[in-house]
Each structure stands twice: as C-alpha cells, then as structure tokens.
Amino acid sequence: MSRERIDEIQAARERLRGIAHVTPIATSRTLDERAGGPVFLKCENLQRVGAFKIRGAYNALSLIPPERRAAGVLTFSSGNHAQGIALAGRLLGISTTVVMPLGAPASKKAATLGYGARVVEFDPATTNREEFAAGLPEAQTATIVPPYDHLDVIAGQGTVALEMMVEQTGPLDLLLVPCGGGGLLSGSAIAARAVAPGCQVIGIEPELADDATRSFRTGTLQTVHNPPTIADGTRTPSLGKHTFPLVLEYAAGMETVSEEEIKAAVRFLFYRLKLVVEPSGALGVAALLAGKIDGAGRKVGVILSGGNIDGATMAAILLEGE
C-alpha cells in the first residue's frame, strides 16, 4: 500500500478538526442478533450538512491555492456533495456554483442554496452533467471539484473510517460502506487497510444501480444511466478514473440490495434506533438485515453515510411498511 495515501487521509483528519463533527457510534442489540455479532453504526447522518460529504469537500477546498480561490469552485451533485461544497465555500470564503439535476430532493436543493451556493439545474434524462457543467461560463476559470473522483475528496472521505477505528471502535473485522461513485468506499478501504489490515471493506449499492458491483466483479468499468433507485445518492453513472482502480485494489468485495430491502433498513433505523437515515445511507444495514452479508462472529462496522431525506419520501417509506 502506498504510504502516501494514508498520510493524505491523516493530514485531512487534522484539517477537519473543529470543522467536521466527530459523529457518534450507535448500536442495536436487535441488529447484533440479526447479524450474529456486534455491529457499530457510524452516524454520518448526524454530520454537518447531514452527510459525510463535508469531509471531502472541505479538505479539497482548503487545498486550493490562495491565488485560485477568487475564481470560485464549480461542482455537480444531486445534493449531499452540493451541500458540503456550499458550506465549505462559505467557511473558506470561496464562491460556489453547483450543477444539480431536475428532480433532486427539495430539501437538499434548499440547503445548498441556504449555504450560499448558486444552483444551476439540468435535465439528467437528456444531458450529461459533466458536459453541462463544462459549458457554463464558470468552467473557464473556476476550480472544478467533482463529487467523488478527486484525490483530495477521497482523502477527506477516508477520515470517516480512520476516525471510527482509531478513536471509537478499535479495529473491525468487516466494514460496510455505501457506494455511489466510490469516493467514500475508496477512502474507507485505504484507511482500513492501514489501521486494521485484517478488516474486509465491502461496498454496498442498490440492485438498480449496480455499476460498481459489475465493475468490481469483471475488472472492467461498467456504467448505468440515471438509475431509478430510491437511493438518490448512488445515481452516479460509474466509478471514476481514480475511484475504480482504488476500489479494485483496496475493497474486498461488493454486494447489492433491492429497493424493498433499502426501505426496510430505513424503517428499522427510524423505529428501532430513532435515527433518520436517507436510503443511500442505509445500504449497509439493508445488506445485514437481508442476510446478504454474513457478520456471524465478526466485529462489524457500518457507515450510515447521510440523513438528508425529505419528509414526503420518509412518510411514504414508513407508510408502506404499515
């Protein structure tokens, strides 16, 4: 393993002190029984902006040279990265523009605007977001900080697992990580290998957005176009040029869960642990509850990556369970 990669995550951890919350660990005896061993939930749903994304966003923006900051930052995101970039920009005095798909959760759009970003919407059914962003005037001068395929973003996301295993739970045997574009999964897997070499890191994604799983199993980059999953944070078209090789090198595996299994996990977290977790953030718990992952006799960690779910979606999921 490249020593430089874990050094970058450790450096990001220092930059984030006093900026990102040290999010708590939650446990559930019922979940332990279902999994067959102790399960520790890393509550990034209680992070600033309601998701882990502030970690990578702030780390990346803080590393922009002073002479480049006046030109601002441009990104594209359905919500959580958008909020992270917007807040990091406000904290660092950097203007931010976010390209966001039509139909993105209203709560995420409102929060992004509330943090001071400019939001430009596009139609994901007809337009590629990267190409759309490249056509904006800001693209000529601004620093582009994508949601996941950026080494400084990956290093920031890796602080979740580093913080968890160094400061809270100790080494784990297994760590389940939601996967969209692979930034959180890549960073977590790098951190885990450095601090707990025996820990297997497995990415979890929806069956309807299984591009990373197919990519991992075939060794060839696979794509998916605008997948209709309720886990909106995983609607990325593919792993990236940085995250794909990192996932292949550091992750131990990939698994998928159905839409019904995702909703069941959201309900379980709400009713049993009193935690509001968005569908993308509940993927690891979904895999455990559905028996997709065998946790028997192992010390298991699960990253709850975010809690930004609008009221209508949460109400529909809860009512469906009744």
Q: Are residues 109 and 252 in the same domain?
A: no
The helix or strand, by DSSP H or E, that contains position 113, with its residue range, turns out to be: helix 106-114
Q: Which of these, 59, 110, 107, lies nearest to 85 by C-alpha position?
A: 59
What is the distance between the alpha carbons of residues 112 and 318, in angstroms, rounded to a whole number? 26
Q: Are residues 125 and 173 in the same domain?
A: no
Q: Are residues 23 and 172 in the same domain?
A: yes
Question: Which domain covers residue 64, as residue numbers?
Answer: 54-148
- What tokens were used for 237? 């078209």
What angle is formed at CA 243 by the lines to CA 132 and CA 35, rounded to 5 degrees?
120
Q: Are residues 33 and 102 in the same domain?
A: no
Residue 1 has pLDDT above 60, yes or no: no
- What tokens were used for 158? 């890796």
Question: Across-strand partners of 13?
Answer: none
What angle is formed at CA 145 by the lines to CA 255 and CA 116, rounded to 5 degrees?
110
pLDDT tens digits, one per residue of 36-89: 999 999 999 999 999 999 999 999 999 999 999 999 999 988 789 999 999 999
Q: Are residues 302 and 235 in the same domain?
A: yes
Average pLDDT of the chain?
95
Q: Are residues 289 and 178 in the same domain?
A: yes
Q: Are residues 33 and 84 in the same domain?
A: no
3-state SS assignment for residue 308: coil
What is the distance between the alpha carbons of residues 228 and 238, in angstroms, rounded to a whole number? 15
Q: Are residues 178 and 134 in the same domain?
A: no
3-state SS assignment for residue 31: helix
pLDDT tens digits, one per residue of 192-217: 999 999 999 999 999 999 999 999 99
Q: Are residues 23 and 113 in the same domain?
A: no
What is the distance between the alpha carbons of residues 131 and 127, in angstroms, rounded to a whole number? 8
Q: Which of 105-109, 138-142, 298-302 has the lowest mean pLDDT?
A: 105-109
Does residue 155 contact residue 56 with C-beta atoms inside 8 Å? yes
Does residue 159 contact residue 22 with C-beta atoms inside 8 Å? no
Q: Are residues 169 and 247 in the same domain?
A: yes
What angle is formed at CA 116 by the lines to CA 113 and CA 117, rounded to 5 degrees?
70
What is the distance between the alpha carbons of residues 185 and 100, in angstroms, rounded to a whole number? 23
Q: Are residues 169 and 97 in the same domain?
A: no
Mean pLDDT over residues 136-143, rounded?
A: 91
Q: Are residues 196 and 266 in the same domain?
A: yes
Active centre residues (catalytic): 53, 305
Domain boundary among 122, 148, 174: 148
Counted domains in the chain: 2
3-state SS assignment for residue 218: helix
Domain boundary among 80, 113, 148: 148
CATH value at residue 64: 3.40.50.1100
pLDDT tens digits, one per residue of 107-123: 888 999 999 999 999 98
Domain boundary among 148, 172, 187: 148
Q: What single DSSP character describes residue 307? A: -
What is the distance between the alpha carbons of residues 173 and 186, in angstroms, rounded to a whole number? 17
CB atoms within 10 A of CB 97: 23
Please measure the distance between the N-terminal and C-terminal CA atoms of the chain and give it in whole angstroms: 48
Q: Report the b/e string of 259-285 with b at 16+ CB within 10 A.
A: bebbbbbbbbbbeebebbbbbbbbbbb
Q: pLDDT band at 272, cuts 50/70/90?
A: very high
